[in-house]
Structure 1
Amino acid sequence: MTEKVAIVTGSNKGLGFAVVKGLCQKYAGTVYLTARNETRGLEAVKKLNEDGLKPEFHVLDVCDSDSIKNFANYIKTKHGGFDVLVNNAAILEWDEVYPSYEAAKRNINCNYRSLLKLEEYLYPLLRDNGRVVNISSACGHPSNIKNKHWIDTLVNKDVTTDDINSFVDGYLESVRNGTFNMNDFADEGKHAEHRVSKIALTALTMVQQRKYYKRNISINAVDPGHIKTEMAQGGGVLEPDEAAKAVLYLILEASPNLKGIFMGQDKKLIDWYDTEGDYYCKGIW
């Protein structure tokens, strides 16, 4: 019987580390803790080893195409494929509430475009009946947007990757040429780059689900809540282990019929199409 394999990106600390820990405790298969920094990744593995848990480690920088290709080749050679992917790796540069073009591009490249590269190189190895969880946030709901054209584009049930890329590129171009309008976003457009990257990630979840539906692969997005991590300078309220519960639920317990949804930390479904709802990220910076 083929051995099951689970992969968690950006998992040397915070939510990713908590997900790896939970999987090591309950998942019947090999669990990969990945990180872009080898030293920090191995230190994280050592912590889990001290608790009697045995994750595997591999370097993976989701912002580097060569790193993704190398990792994919490793998984193909050693395991032939994999069954679970948690796309957790992300950045947020707190100091730039209204970021420069370069800072905005870094955020979007890491938090959104990396998923396109992961799909290109890793998804061919994703086995039938697999599960993917994309880590979004309160920033990842379309209620963060006030621009009607963008809203109508993203909540269209036939939205495409090209549509999402146009949304992302339009935002970046506005930052580059100085036409950025804070009124296009909630909360005076603070950290619009993060809102754009997470909205794009959530929308991509639904696009990917349509692509892989016939193979019974479940691809879902989660808002894990405001977590006490280095990224949460506004003062997180949830411990990573608590925030990981919804992610672990989607991997270990949820019906395989639960597909292409956006789930909250409380395991309740978030209505993607309720653009007037009170879902958006509010002034935590």
Structure 2
Amino acid sequence: MANKVAIVTGANRGLGFAIVKGLCLKFEGTVYLTARDEKRGVEALTKLQTEGLTPQFHRLDVSDIDSVRNFADYIKTKHGGFDVLVNNAAILEWDEVYPSYEAAKRNVDVNYKSLLTIEEYLFPLLRDGARVVSVSSACGHLSNLKNKKWIETLSDTHLETESINNFVDEYLNSVKYGTFDKNDFADEGKHAEHRVSKIALTALTMVQARKYKNRNISINAVHPGHVKTDMAVGGGEIDPDKAAEVILYLILDASPNLTGTFMWHNRKLVDWLDAEGDYYCKGLW
């Protein structure tokens, strides 16, 4: 039997680091800590090694197609495939509440469009029965939207990736050409770029869950809570180790039949399609 392999993106600090640590303690197989910055990645690796843990490190910039392709080639050559993927890499330039086009595009490229690249190059290496967890947030719930056309599009039970891409591009064009409307979003459209990228991530999770269900691959999105990291506005409320627990649950303990869901940090399964619900991100900036 092939050695089981788990991969965590954006794992040199914060939540990603905590997920790797938890997997090293509980997952029976090889755990890859990946990060865009090799120096910081190696430092994180060394820190875990001093605690007696033995993850592997590989550089991975999820926003760089060549980097993703090279990593996929490495995994294919070294292991033939893998069993767990945690899409954790993300950015939030929180000092720009209403960002420039360039800042909005950076957020969308890293938080959402990188997942399309990962699906293209890494998903073919997922073994049957694999588990994928994409880290979303309260910003990723559909209730962050007020634009009825967008809600209707993303609520389609036959939603396809192309429609998600169209939604994302429509938002970016509104910023680029000065037609952005705060009323299209909850909370006066503050950090709409982050809401759009995380909504798109969650929607893509639902699409992927349908696409790969016949291979028994479990794919879910999760809101880990307002985690105490340097990316969190106001410092966060939940310790990374505590926040990692819900992700480790989805990987290690949840039913393999659980797929296409949006799980809250308390393990509650939230109806992602409840656009009128009180789940949207608020009061963090």
State whether TM-score is above 0.5. Answer: yes
Partner of 1:180: 180
Give the Cα–Cα distance (whole angstroms) in 2 for the partners of residues 235 and 183 of structure 1.
28
Give the Cα–Cα distance (whole angstroms) in 2 for the partners of residues 236 and 155 of structure 1.
30
Alignment of 1:132-151 (within 5 A): 132-151=132-151
Give the Cα–Cα distance (whole angstroms) in 1 for the partners of residues 153 and 73 of structure 2.
36
AA of the residue aligned to 2:232: A
Partner of 2:53: 53
Alignment of 1:156-167 (within 5 A): 156-167=156-167
Give the Cα–Cα distance (whole angstroms) in 1 for the partners of residues 264 and 245 of structure 2.
11
Establish whether residue 264 from structure 1 lines up as the match of residue 261 from structure 2. Answer: no
Q: Deviations over 1:77-135 (max 9, x none)?
A: 10000000000000000111100011100000000000000000001111000000000
Counterpart of 1:234 in 2: which secondary structure?
helix
Partner of 1:126: 126
| Identical amino acids, percent of aligned pairs | 72
Partner of 2:222: 222
AA of the residue aligned to 1:68: V
Q: Deviations over 1:24-70 (max 9, x none)?
A: 00000000000011110010011110110000000000010000001
AA of the residue aligned to 1:158: H
Partner of 1:152: 152
Counterpart of 2:280 in 1: which secondary structure?
coil
Normalised by the length of structure 1, the TM-score is 0.99
Establish whether residue 170 from structure 1 lines up as the match of residue 173 from structure 2. Answer: no
- Cα offset, 1:174, TM superposition: 0.3
Give the Cα–Cα distance (whole angstroms) in 1 for the partners of residues 241 and 278 of structure 2.
26
Q: Deviations over 1:171-210 (max 9, x none)?
A: 0000000000001001100000000000000000010011
Give the Cα–Cα distance (whole angstroms) in 2 for the partners of residues 180 and 36 of structure 1.
31
Establish whether residue 19 from structure 1 lines up as the match of residue 41 from structure 2. Answer: no
AA of the residue aligned to 1:170: E
- Cα offset, 1:283, TM superposition: 2.1
Give the Cα–Cα distance (whole angstroms) in 2 for the partners of residues 70 and 158 of structure 1.
33
Normalised by the length of structure 2, the TM-score is 0.99
Partner of 1:211: 211
AA of the residue aligned to 2:67: S
- Cα offset, 1:235, TM superposition: 2.6
Q: Deviations over 1:147-175 (max 9, x none)?
A: 00000111111111011011000000000
Partner of 1:191: 191
Give the Cα–Cα distance (whole angstroms) in 2 for the partners of residues 166 and 85 of structure 1.
26
AA of the residue aligned to 2:87: N
Q: CA RMSD in A?
A: 0.5
Give the Cα–Cα distance (whole angstroms) in 1 for the partners of residues 167 and 233 of structure 2.
27
AA of the residue aligned to 2:243: A
Alignment of 1:29-68 (within 5 A): 29-68=29-68
Count the aligned residue pairs. Answer: 285
- Cα offset, 1:233, TM superposition: 2.1
Give the Cα–Cα distance (whole angstroms) in 1 for the partners of residues 69 and 209 of structure 2.
23
Counterpart of 1:129 in 2: which secondary structure?
strand
AA of the residue aligned to 1:188: E
- In structure 2, runs of 5+ residues without a counterpart are none
Give the Cα–Cα distance (whole angstroms) in 1 for the partners of residues 183 and 244 of structure 2.
33
AA of the residue aligned to 2:225: G
Establish whether residue 73 from structure 1 lines up as the match of residue 86 from structure 2. Answer: no
Give the Cα–Cα distance (whole angstroms) in 2 for the partners of residues 77 and 41 of structure 1.
22
Partner of 2:234: 234
